[in-house]
Chain A
Amino acid sequence: MQANTENQDVRKREMGKVSSIISKLGVYVLVIALMILGTIISPKFLTTSNFMNIIQAVSLLGIVAAGVSFVTYSGNFVDMSIPCIMAFSGMIAVDTLKYGIVVSILCGLSTGLVIGIINGTVVGKLKANPIIWTLSVAFVGSGFMRWFYSGKQIYPDVNGGAAAEVFISLSRTNVFGTIPLIVIVMIIFMILGQFVMTKTKFGKQVKLVGSSYEVAKMTGINVNGVVSGAFIVTALTASIAGIFLTSLAKTGAFYNGEGYDFNAVTAIVIGGMTLTGGRGDVVGVLGGVLVIGLLSNVMTLIGINTFSQSIVKGIIFIAVVGINARSLRKLGRDDA
């Protein structure tokens, strides 16, 4: 009798293993499928330069997503103030170019850090709803920028002097001759993110808080600190992406970074991280970012215009959320 149940349970566990491998590979299956599709559709697809294009196009998104994934992982859904942080960091960096490039970048990063600390404190310590709070920050921040700069855009080459050239070239520098600096930064952040999430104490704490806030608290985890940390990480990566974006656009403007919040969530969810927290990893998020890049590229090659592209992206987002929820329920993992 006992042996019988053991056999059954072994089978159950093996099934679980297969399903978990599939659910882990999930997003990369999509990546490969899109690559095959692209190869069939256009001979231009399978070239080094096209691939570099794809990766360069999503590198900023990748930097942002690597950071936001910590907020998602901690069970706080998403940081809606990302666009605001990106724009604000960029504008401050441009504004302080007159003091030199180092000061400018440090000021830009500090902007992100300050907003991150505010978000972390309010959501972590004061237990505000993360979406409502960060959305409010986004409104206040963007209003402040418009008021402070009188609704104008600012340009590095006007304000900056010598440092301006360096600032603008940030996003145009290639390392080893061929690989853009932005891509290198994204790859570093992905590796760093994956490492921190899976191999460090902080990562494990975020996972526990995301899996169950109350359990983490009663287990002796400093839950406030962990949630604050997740928001600070997110804000810092967003401000780095914001500085690159401003450099790329040669313009500091309050609307820089628009749409990065939703795109980051899309990448995170496609990458297999659940919005309720505690599940998924940065490798998956990278897959999600690649899917978004490949999708745009393939659709452009087919000749679908930008507006229709966003419809397709939205539909895929809905489908992925649906499939994820369903398979988790099938696996018996949906909270049990």
Chain B
Amino acid sequence: MNEVFSLDMKGVSKQFPGTLAVDNVDFQVKAGEVHALLGENGAGKSTLMKMIAGAFSDYTGQICVLGENVELCSPSAAKAKGVGMVYQELSLAMPLTIAENVLAGRLPTKGKIFIDKKAMREQTIECLKRVGLGHLDPFSCIKEISQQEAQLVEIAKTLGNNPNILVMDEPTSSLSREEVKLLFGIIEKLKKQGLAIIYISHHLPELFEIADRVTIMRDGKKIGTYNIDEVTTKSLVEMMVGRPIDDKPIKVKNQVLGEEKLRIENLTRNGFFHDVSFNVRANEVLGIGGLSGAGRSELARGIVGADAIDSGKIYIKGKEVRIKNMSQALEHGVAYLTENRKEEGLALRITIGENILAPLLKKHTKNGIYSAKSGASEVLEVMKELKVYPPDPTVTVGNLSGGNQQKVLLGKWVATKPQILILDEPTRGVDVGAKMVIHDTIRRLASEGNAVILISSDLPELVALSDRVKIMKEGRFIGELIKEDLSEETILLAANGEGDKLSEDIYAS
């Protein structure tokens, strides 16, 4: 008799109308291991995980949990069999308390009518202790705790159901470096308690820290399962994209910088960012680094007029401007790619073409009549450059994979031909292939005499693309790193206010 796996999927498939999202996959996870699941967006990872979570009633193949053949046809069935899911996006109810969230669906009662507050407190603290949050007040609201704590509460909630299998989908995407460390400590602890943990992440270096084994998927099929010491970042990426790649990101030679495109002087929005000054020139990519919550997105929103600023001046090409809203920003040639593509970036229910042309409605309107035709060539052009798949502008954006959605989002702003492009986490949660395409486009834009401001928590990205990096901490610029000093370590140290490479922040042009 073979080893009994915590989860053993044999020949599972899931058909969507017209596509086979998961194609005859075998997938085993042992108790007490962290098993990473890798693949590009659209490779079938999410579908496979939804299958485990009981989201589909019409999959084929066999699923065994702890050696027992089970049918995971509904979320409650999956929960009963010991499957716990922690999703990328928080699924906590913001206005409710921690206790109400953690104990949702199984609130302790007195006489089956009244809520037993005391038991509630005890049980919640019990759960919170497992994720190192024993100090939190179970009756404070989710709104009152930090993003990272909320993420951990989410895990605590899932652990409350005593799962045997814990699925974590991109749990670190919104966490800063230290917070990730903390989370990994907790994962290690859970592993020792005998949980089987399935870990999904696009962040490859993380996997080498935390995973024991890794399974790679591509186009709905399993490519292979390996022990983590059998693979390298390079071999993983090659298996994911299905072709050999150059492992060194192309470091473009220092461009000759052109005229000053944008200058910010003492920009302040009380409570969010203070006295921020910088300039960015043609052909330059200015990185802005810092921990999450440092005020980087707020700064970008302040520049484009999405939020009102309290004081400070903005100069575009040497002329002072006042930007009150996005429409005025666009008129000045400033485009802003927002960090959350699903809420502020793309209208998911309309087509690729409609999304790309959304900022260009005015341009394609003549005598009050709008003509999508006159923009068709522009749409195809950006779709071609960004290799959007499927290459059909009439496809609804919501049906695209995350990577392709992000390409469309960038395409939408590229199509406006901006002189100053502000990018806020342009590659969050996208796969390696999409990332390369997006990086190429950013480089092209900068090399054509535009200015790019890149806000990113992805350190390799910041290092590879930026000409210099401003470091933001608690709403202020605390310094600048020049190209020669750029590395993941220097940025990380600087973001925490340390490191000797950090120059005085005197903005010089």
On A, residues with C-beta under 8 Å from B are: 1-2, 4-5, 8-16, 199-201, 203-205, 207-208, 211-212, 214-222, 278-279, 330, 332-333, 335-336
Considering only residues 313-336 of chain B, those with a C-beta below 8 Å from chain A are 325-330, 336
Residues on B with C-beta less than 8 A from A1 are: 218-219, 242
Beyond A15-B17, A207-B350, is A201–B359 a contact (Cβ under 8 Å)?
Answer: no
Q: How far is the CA of A14 from the CA of B395 in the complex (A)?
A: 11
Is B345 a contact of A200 with CB atoms below 8 Å?
no
Is A201 a contact of B368 with CB atoms below 8 Å?
yes
Q: How far is the CA of A14 from the CA of B346 in the complex (A)?
A: 24
Shortest distance between the CB of A291 and any CB in chain B (Å): 24
16 A-B pairs with CB atoms under 8 Å apart are A8-B19, A11-B18, A13-B18, A13-B390, A15-B17, A200-B369, A203-B370, A204-B370, A208-B358, A211-B350, A215-B344, A215-B347, A218-B306, A218-B338, A218-B344, A278-B349
Cβ 8 A contact of B327, one of A2, A10, A221, A279: A221
Which 5 A-B residue pairs are closest in the complex by CB-CB distance? A336-B398, A12-B18, A211-B347, A220-B327, A220-B326
Shortest distance between the CB of A13 and any CB in chain B (Å): 6
Is A220 a contact of B347 with CB atoms below 8 Å?
no
B21 to chain A: closest residue by CB:
A8
Give the residue among B328, B354, B365, B370 with the most A Cβ atoms within 10 A.
Answer: B370
Shortest distance between the CB of A119 and any CB in chain B (Å): 23
Give the residue among B344, B347, B392 with the most A Cβ atoms within 10 A.
Answer: B347
Interface residues on B, range: 35 or more
Residue B343 is within 8 A (CB to CB) of chain A in the complex? yes
Beyond A5-B219, A12-B19, is A208–B326 a contact (Cβ under 8 Å)?
Answer: no
Cβ 8 A contact of B19, one of A9, A199, A218, A222: A9
Beyond A199-B370, A336-B399, is A204–B361 a contact (Cβ under 8 Å)?
Answer: yes
Cβ 8 A contact of B390, one of A9, A203, A332, A333: A9
Residues on A with C-beta less than 8 A from B115 are: none
Residues on B with C-beta less than 8 A from A10 are: 390
Q: How far is the CA of A333 from the CA of B398 in the complex (A)?
A: 7
B355 to chain A: closest residue by CB:
A215
Beyond A1-B242, A200-B368, A220-B325, is A335–B349 a contact (Cβ under 8 Å)?
Answer: yes
Residues on A with C-beta less than 8 A from B369 are: 199-200
Residues on B with C-beta less than 8 A from A215 are: 343-347, 358
Residue B236 is within 8 A (CB to CB) of chain A in the complex? no
Residue B20 is within 8 A (CB to CB) of chain A in the complex? yes
A207 to chain B: closest residue by CB:
B350
Residue B396 is within 8 A (CB to CB) of chain A in the complex? yes
Is A12 a contact of B16 with CB atoms below 8 Å?
yes
On B, residues with C-beta under 8 Å from A are: 16-20, 218-219, 242, 306, 325-330, 336, 338, 343-350, 354, 358-359, 361-362, 365, 368-370, 389-390, 392, 395-396, 398-399, 412
Label chain B's interface by main secondary structure: mixed
Shortest distance between the CB of A141 and any CB in chain B (Å): 32
Is B218 a contact of A333 with CB atoms below 8 Å?
no
Q: How far is the CA of A215 from the CA of B341 in the complex (A)?
A: 9
Is A201 a contact of B398 with CB atoms below 8 Å?
no
Residues on A with C-beta less than 8 A from B396 are: 16, 333, 336
Residues on A with C-beta less than 8 A from B343 are: 212, 214-215
Residues on A with C-beta less than 8 A from B350 are: 207-208, 211, 278
A203 to chain B: closest residue by CB:
B370
A198 to chain B: closest residue by CB:
B370
Seed contacts A8-B20, A13-B392, A333-B399; 20 additional CB < 8 Å A-B pairs: A1-B218, A1-B242, A10-B390, A13-B390, A201-B362, A203-B370, A208-B361, A212-B348, A212-B349, A214-B343, A215-B343, A215-B347, A216-B347, A216-B358, A217-B344, A218-B306, A218-B344, A219-B326, A332-B16, A336-B399
Residues on A with C-beta less than 8 A from B326 are: 217-221
Q: How far is the CA of A8 from the CA of B44 in the complex (A)?
A: 14
Give the residue among B345, B350, B365 with the most A Cβ atoms within 10 A.
Answer: B350
Is A218 a contact of B347 with CB atoms below 8 Å?
no
Residues on B with C-beta less than 8 A from A217 are: 306, 326, 344
Shortest distance between the CB of A91 and any CB in chain B (Å): 34
Give the residue among B20, B329, B362, B369 with the most A Cβ atoms within 10 A.
Answer: B369
Q: How far is the CA of A199 from the CA of B390 in the complex (A)?
A: 26
Shortest distance between the CB of A326 and any CB in chain B (Å): 14
Q: How far is the CA of A220 from the CA of B17 in the complex (A)?
A: 36
Shortest distance between the CB of B166 and any CB in chain A (Å): 26
Q: How far is the CA of A8 from the CA of B20 in the complex (A)?
A: 8
Shortest distance between the CB of B237 and any CB in chain A (Å): 16
Shortest distance between the CB of A163 and any CB in chain B (Å): 35
Is A14 a contact of B347 with CB atoms below 8 Å?
no
Is A332 a contact of B399 with CB atoms below 8 Å?
yes
Residues on A with C-beta less than 8 A from B329 are: 220
Q: How far is the CA of A15 from the CA of B326 in the complex (A)?
A: 38
Shortest distance between the CB of B332 and any CB in chain A (Å): 11
Is A8 a contact of B347 with CB atoms below 8 Å?
no
Q: How far is the CA of A120 from the CA of B338 in the complex (A)?
A: 28
A217 to chain B: closest residue by CB:
B326
Shortest distance between the CB of A296 and any CB in chain B (Å): 33
Q: How far is the CA of A214 from the CA of B325 in the complex (A)?
A: 13
Is B368 a contact of A219 with CB atoms below 8 Å?
no
Q: How far is the CA of A205 from the CA of B360 in the complex (A)?
A: 11
Shortest distance between the CB of A335 and any CB in chain B (Å): 6
Is A8 a contact of B368 with CB atoms below 8 Å?
no
Residues on B with C-beta less than 8 A from A216 are: 347, 358
Q: How far is the CA of A303 from the CA of B440 in the complex (A)?
A: 70
Is B18 a contact of A15 with CB atoms below 8 Å?
yes
Residues on A with C-beta less than 8 A from B398 are: 332-333, 335-336
Beyond A222-B327, A335-B348, A335-B398, is A8–B359 a contact (Cβ under 8 Å)?
Answer: no
Residues on B with C-beta less than 8 A from A221 are: 326-327, 358, 361
Residues on B with C-beta less than 8 A from A9 are: 18-19, 389-390
